[in-house]
Amino acid sequence: MELKLYNSLTRQKQVFEPMDPQRVTMYACGPTVYNYVHIGNARPAVVFDTLYRVLKCLYSNVVYARNITDIDDKIINKSNELSQDINVITKKYSEAYFEDMQALNTLTPDKIPYATQHIPEMIDMVQALIDRGHAYETDSENLSDRGHVLFSVPSMPNYGQLSKRNLDEQEAGARVEVAGYKQYAGDFVLWKPSTDNEPGWDSPWGRGRPGWHLECSAMIKKHLGETIDIHAGGQDLIFPHHENEIAQSCCANDGKALANFWMHNGFININGEKMSKSLGNFRLVNDLLQQYPGEVLRYVILSSHYRSEQNFSKELLDSAWRTLDSLYGLIRGLEPVEAVLEPSGAAFKALLDDLNTPVAISELYRLAKAVNQAKGDEQQDIMRELAGLADILGLLQQDPEQWFTQARADDQLTAEQVEVLIQARQQAKQEKDFAKADQVRQQLLDGGVILEDSREGTKWRRS
Ligand SMILES: [Zn+2]
């Protein structure tokens, strides 16, 4: 069995081979905790959680780390705005993040490093970069500019390997706000000075705090190693964040690659428009969870391929909810079985092909229909396969009765879903399982569908 993943670094699908099959390492950039996260932050969490589950099927020991950025200018600004202690803010929003992630049924990563708990490692890395001629301390005449340590981009000849930007482009892009203390426009901050009322730590360059990019490089090195198997994140992080992580780690670790595979998920659009501050169309996970079960959000995210752009809309969420209704309806009343993942099955093969979750989900639907129509041992076998697939996708993990009793919006079933349920009811009637037939009838009724039985068959209408 070969796992193929699209590597952003080489821009092609490649066979994944870990450096050490006994310890597969994976890192995903986590949130900056100054606000509730939006659906664009939920996508990488769900996608790479699914990858983590796939890897765990293939390897006995997978170490997955996802950090918490709890020191950042955005957090400091929020703290000033609200006149609230910075720790109160980071505690509140990291807890909210964990709750959101739980609602999305993501597994807890093996390591959750916090930036503020790794300051000595960050200082060591800055020092290593200075010692190797890749970073410099600013020596500005302007006192307030002192105490910065910057990474010297021209000191790294192959800077730009991930984003495929060359130095000229990099310079042009950065020219907009060139600080006077920079030797080169593209140089970026590793360490910056803190004023007395800003959080800071003592360092050889005075009291200050780390730059965002540095945090990930230092935490990866400490928890996973100098070179890791997979580094993941949203597409928007490729430049400058991931490019700068590569620069720091590679130059501090004597040229060693930071990650062999770089994986990036695509953007999420809202009703066809890019999510942006100016449009004010951010959808917070927390808000969506007031209206939809977390599983609906997870289902929507996995229903499109992670590298494609995804469009979120109310219609999509409502339709995902109805689809989950019919999936739960198909397995309702069946005895739970032990999950068995079928390695030769179409679904697992699809997941091994660069995490093709849309195909895996269509298989989930096919198996749910099949299990409903099968009997005895055959039914048990399909049920086990279905449960195995559901486990790896992190879907259908609830008791169907619980699913159907949860609060819901007033939505209708699609025609296709109605047909599937009518078929299931017909099957139950043929098997003289009238209780189940009635249950399905009720389910349709709950979905706003009224059945009319006649000699010609069953007709239906919306109520
Ligand atoms: Zn990062």
pLDDT tens column, 310-365: 999 999 999 999 999 999 989 988 888 999 888 889 999 999 999 999 999 999 99
What are the pLDDT digits (tens) for 140-187? 666 666 789 999 999 999 999 999 987 666 555 554 556 677 888 889
Residue 245 Cα to ligand 1 middle (Å):
7
pLDDT of residue 455: 79
- Cα-to-centroid distance, 261 and ligand 1 (Å): 14
Domain boundaries, the chain: 16-265, 313-411
Query: Identical fold at 16-265 and 313-411?
Result: no
CA of 242 to the centre of ligand 1 (A): 6
Rounded CA-CA distance 305/411 in Å is 26
* % the chain with pLDDT above 70: 94
Residue 228 alpha carbon to ligand 1 centre in Å? 13
Distance 112 CA to ligand 1 centre (A): 13
- CA 3, CA 17: separation in Å to the nearest integer? 8
Q: How many angstroms separate the alpha carbon of residue 114 from the centre of ligand 1?
A: 12
pLDDT of residue 252: 98
State the pLDDT at residue 140: 64
Query: For 64-78, 173-187, 264-278, 429-443, which range has the lowest pLDDT when averaged over its residues?
Result: 173-187
Please give the distance, rounded to the nearest whole angstrom, from the Cα atom of residue 236 to the centre of ligand 1. 11
pLDDT tens per residue across span 418-454: 888 999 999 999 999 999 999 999 988 888 887 888 8
Whole-number pLDDT of residue 409: 54
CATH number 3.40.50.720 given to 16-265: no
> Separation of 369 CA from ligand 1 center, angstroms?
42
Question: What are the pLDDT digits (tens) for 3-16?
Answer: 999 999 999 999 99
Mean of pLDDT values over 84-100: 97
User: What gap in Å lies between CA 270 and CA 53, rounded to an integer?
Assistant: 28
CA of 229 from ligand 1 middle (Å) equals 15
CA of 241 to the centre of ligand 1 (A): 6
pLDDT of residue 459: 79
* Residue 151 Cα to ligand 1 middle (Å): 16
d(CA 63, CA 248): 22
Those residues whose C-beta lies under 8 Å from the C-beta of residue 51, and which sit 6 or more positions away, are: 26, 230, 232, 263, 355
233 CA distance to ligand 1 centroid (A)? Answer: 8
Average pLDDT over residues 47-57: 97
Task: Please give the structure tokens belonging to residue 328.
Answer: 């739960």
Instruction: Give residue-wise pLDDT tens across range 388-406.
Output: 999 999 999 999 878 876 6
pLDDT at position 336: 87
- CA-only gyration radius of the chain, Å: 26
Task: Tell me, in angstroms, the distance from the centre of ligand 1 to residue 158's CA.
Answer: 20
- If you measure from the C-alpha of residue 244 to the centroid of ligand 1, how many angstroms do you get, rounded to a whole number? 9
DSSP notation for 26-38: EEE---BSSS--B
CA of 332 to the centre of ligand 1 (A): 42
Cα of 265 vs centre of ligand 1, distance in Å, is: 14
pLDDT at 284 over 90: yes
Q: Ligand 1 centroid to 361 CA: how many Å?
A: 30
Structure token pair of residue 33: 């905790």
What is the reported pLDDT for 342? 82
**Mean model confidence pLDDT for the chain:** 91
- What is the distance in A from the centroid of ligand 1 to the CA of 25? 15
Rounded Cα distance, 215 and 68, in Å: 10
Q: How far is the CA of 315 from the centre of ligand 1 (A)?
A: 33
Given this model, what pLDDT does residue 407 score?
54
CA of 31 to the centre of ligand 1 (A): 9
pLDDT for res 332: 85
pLDDT value at position 177?
Answer: 54
Q: From the CA of 234, how far away is ligand 1's center (Å)?
A: 10
Task: Answer whether residue 239 shows pLDDT above 80.
Answer: yes
Expressed in angstroms and rounded, the spacing between residue 28 Cα and the centre of ligand 1 is 7
Region 313-411: CATH code: 1.20.120.640
Q: How far is the CA of 430 from the centre of ligand 1 (A)?
A: 57
Residue 238 CA to ligand 1 centre (angstroms) = 10
Answer whether residue 417 shows pLDDT above 90: no
The CB density around residue 209, as the number of other CB atoms within 10 Å, is 24
Q: How confident is the model over 224-228, as a mean pLDDT?
A: 98
Q: Ligand 1 centre and the CA of 213: distance in Å?
A: 6
Among 258, 221, 226, 253, smallest CA distance to 132 is for 253
Please tell me the distance between residue 372's alpha carbon and the centre of ligand 1 in angstroms: 45
**129 C-alpha vs ligand 1 centroid, how far in Å?**
18
186 CA distance to ligand 1 middle (Å) = 18
Expressed in angstroms and rounded, the spacing between residue 216 Cα and the centre of ligand 1 is 5
H-type alpha helices, 208-259? 212-223, 243-252
Could you tell me the pTM of the whole model? 0.87
